[in-house]
Chains A and B, each alone.
Chain A
Amino acid sequence: MNRTLERAAPFLFGLIGLGLWQGAVWWLQVPPYVLPGPIAIVAAYAGDYDVLNAALLSTLTVTFVALLVSAALGVALALTMAASNLARAAIQPWAVILQVTPVVAIAPLIIIWVNQPFMALVVCATIVAFFPVLSNTAAGLVATPPELLDLFRLNGATRWQTLILLRLPAALPYFLAGLRISGTLALVGAVVAEFVAGSGGFASGLAYRILEAGYRLEIPRMFAALVLLALAGMAIYGALGLFSRLMLRRRDAA
Chain B
Amino acid sequence: MIVVDGVSKTFPNGTVALNNTSAKIGEGEFIALLGPSGCGKSTLLRLLAGLEAPSGGQIIWPGGTAEPGDIGFVFQDATLMPWMSAAENVFLPLRLRGKSRSETRDSVTAALTQVGLADFADTKPAALSGGMKMRVSIARALVGSPKLLLMDEPFAALDEFTRFKLQADLHEVWHRTGTTIVFVTHSIYEAAYLATRVLVMSPRPGRVAANITSEVAEGPERRTAADYTAFVKQLSGVLRGVMPA
Contact = CB atoms under 8 A, between A and B. Distances in A.
Nearest to A170: B81
Nearest to A162: B96
Interface in B71-97: 71, 73, 75, 77, 79, 81-83, 92-93, 95-97
Interface in B116-138: 123-127
A153 B124 contact: no
B79 A148 contact: yes
B73 A252 contact: no
A147 B75 contact: yes
Interface string A107-124: 000000000000000000
Contact of A154 (B71, B79, B95): B71
Interface centre among B73, B83, B96 (most CB of A within 10 A): B96
Given A169-B83, A251-B83, A151 B123 contact: no
A253 B124 contact: yes
A154 B124 contact: no
Contacts of A155: 68-69, 92-93, 96-97
B61 to A, nearest CB: 14
Contacts of A252: 82-83, 124-126
Interface string A129-155: 000000000000000010110111111
B79 A145 contact: yes
A154 B68 contact: yes
A150 B96 contact: no
A150 B124 contact: no
Contacts of B81: 148, 165-166, 169
Contacts, number: 57
A93 interface: no
The interface residues of chain A, by DSSP majority, are classed as helix
Contact of A151 (B69, B83, B93): B93
A156 interface: yes
A154 B49 contact: yes
Contacts of B93: 151, 154-155
Interface string A93-110: 000000000000000000
A254 B126 contact: yes
A17 B73 CA distance: 62
Given A145-B79, A147-B75, A156-B68, A254 B96 contact: no
Contacts of B97: 155-156
B245 interface: no
Nearest to A150: B51
Contacts of A251: 82-83
Contacts of B123: 254
B26 interface: no
A161 interface: yes
A219 B71 CA distance: 73
A243 B191 CA distance: 48
B51 A154 contact: yes
A157 interface: yes
B75 A153 contact: no
A74 B26 CA distance: 52
Nearest to B72: A154
A101 B68 CA distance: 50
Interface centre among B49, B69, B79 (most CB of A within 10 A): B79
Given A156-B96, A156-B97, A147 B126 contact: no
B96 A152 contact: yes
Contacts of B49: 150, 154
Nearest to A156: B68
Given A154-B68, A169-B81, A161 B75 contact: no
A157 B92 CA distance: 10
A169 B97 CA distance: 20
Contacts of B127: 254
Nearest to A251: B83
A161 B96 contact: yes
B50 interface: yes
Contacts of B75: 147, 150-151
A157 B96 contact: yes
Nearest to B71: A154
B68 A151 contact: no
A151 B73 contact: yes
Interface of A: 145, 147-148, 150-157, 161, 165-166, 169, 251-254
11 contacts: A148-B79, A150-B73, A151-B79, A151-B140, A152-B96, A154-B73, A155-B96, A165-B92, A251-B82, A252-B82, A252-B83
Given A153-B51, A253-B124, 9 more contacts: A148-B79, A150-B49, A150-B75, A151-B79, A154-B50, A154-B93, A155-B97, A165-B95, A253-B126
